[in-house]
Amino acid sequence: MLVDKQIKQRAPEIFPSGYEEENIGCISYDLTIGKILAKHHEDRLELQPGDFVMIESREEFTVPRDLALTVGEKNSLMRTGLIVDGPVYFPGHHSRAYLRVLNASGTPIVLDTGMKIAQLFFHTLDELPEQDYQSRPVSSFADETAYRGYGKYDSVYTEKIGKLEEATEGLRNQEGKIYANILTLMGIFVSIFSILTIDFTVISQNISIRNLVLVNCSLGLLLLLFMALVMLVVGSVGSRREQSKKYWWIFLVAAALLAGILLIFLFR
């Protein structure tokens, strides 16, 4: 592994741009944030707990054929809850460092361009490889000085992520159905209990059949409106949204019909 004086000697060979001698440690070089690869490429980002972001290093480097570079976490940042991951950079690789930064703490952490984010270590090889990274035809991230996302693997990973999103959507649909069913059963139970309770009370007071029907129709109207609200708010999830809208209208139409019956009884 190269030490500080060796890194300084070979810096012109390794770093075409972005190099700062003050960032050299005893056996490493501190990488700094050049770009925060969020939606709007902010200069500052408040990374929320559990979120991650990709960053691009200010430093551009070309790995000599007798070296391999690895990325390590900074002790100070690790204690704040930041997890910084990066790949191994093979001999011949010309790139900037693209690192994944995850906030594993319970509080937001601010990232700024220019801040030191990770350490780069320089490992010497026993022999030169027969083929370096740049000359391999399958190298997806050669000369990556602007972020390429998944590179040549875009179609593969996009398909996998699509399947994961479909599975997640399916779980959300199931969750919505469970909530809707629970609320529906609760509404039916409460309504039936209320109707029976009120009917027993009303019957004991010897009121007319007309008034008894009005009371029951009123409670039924409230039940239908409640069911419509359940379908509108809880049932409208994901791929079942159209089906939920259909049921919402069914309950609303039934409520309107029942309201019409109530009006007939009231004004006849």
Burial of 59 (0-12, 13-18, 19+ CB in 10 A): buried
Q: Identify whether residues 81 and 130 lie together within a single domain.
A: yes
Cβ contacts of 103 within 8 Å, gap of 6 or more:
47, 48, 49, 50, 51, 52, 81, 82, 83, 109
* Residue 182 Cα distances to 32, 160, 185, 223, 227, angstroms: 52, 33, 5, 14, 11
Is 167 part of any domain? Answer: no
Is 84 part of any domain? Answer: yes
Q: How far is CA 160 from the centre of its chain?
A: 15
Q: Identify whether residues 189 and 234 lie together within a single domain.
A: yes
Q: Identify whether residues 21 and 99 lie together within a single domain.
A: yes
Structure tokens at 256: 């309107």
Q: Identify whether residues 9 and 139 lie together within a single domain.
A: yes
| pLDDT computed for residue 239 by the predictor | 46
Q: Identify whether residues 222 and 115 lie together within a single domain.
A: no
Q: Identify whether residues 142 and 190 lie together within a single domain.
A: no
Contact 228, 252 (CB under 8 A): yes
Domain of residue 52 covers: 4-149
Q: Are strands 82-85 and 52-62 parallel, antiparallel or unpaired?
A: unpaired
pLDDT digits (tens, 9 = 90+) for 223-267: 777 777 766 665 554 445 555 555 666 766 777 777 777 666 666
Q: Identify whether residues 196 and 112 lie together within a single domain.
A: no
Q: Identify whether residues 102 and 223 lie together within a single domain.
A: no
Is 158 part of any domain? Answer: no
Last residue of a domain, one of 105, 134, 149: 149
Segments of the chain with pLDDT less than 50: 237-239
Is 165 part of any domain? Answer: no
Task: Give the span between the Cα atoms of 53 and 37, in whole angstroms.
Answer: 7
Q: Identify whether residues 21 and 145 lie together within a single domain.
A: yes
Angle (CA) 89 94 99, round 5°: 50
- This prediction has a pTM of 0.59
Domain of 39, CATH number, reads 2.70.40.10
| pLDDT computed for residue 225 by the predictor | 74
**Secondary structure class of 15 (helix, strand, coil):** coil
Last residue of a domain, one of 81, 116, 149: 149
Q: Identify whether residues 70 and 202 lie together within a single domain.
A: no
Q: Identify whether residues 136 and 183 lie together within a single domain.
A: no
| pLDDT computed for residue 55 by the predictor | 95
Q: Per the structure, how many domains does the chain have?
A: 2
Is 235 part of any domain? Answer: yes
Is 188 part of any domain? Answer: yes
Last residue of a domain, one of 114, 134, 149: 149
Kind plus residue range of the DSSP H or E element containing 63 = none
pLDDT digits (tens, 9 = 90+) for 99-108: 999 999 999 9
Q: Identify whether residues 8 and 91 lie together within a single domain.
A: yes
| pLDDT computed for residue 238 by the predictor | 47
Burial of 33 (0-12, 13-18, 19+ CB in 10 A): buried
Task: Give the span between the Cα atoms of 38 and 50, in whole angstroms.
Answer: 15
| CA nearest to 250, candidates 258, 240, 239, 261 | 258
Task: Give the span between the Cα atoms of 103 and 253, in whole angstroms.
Answer: 50
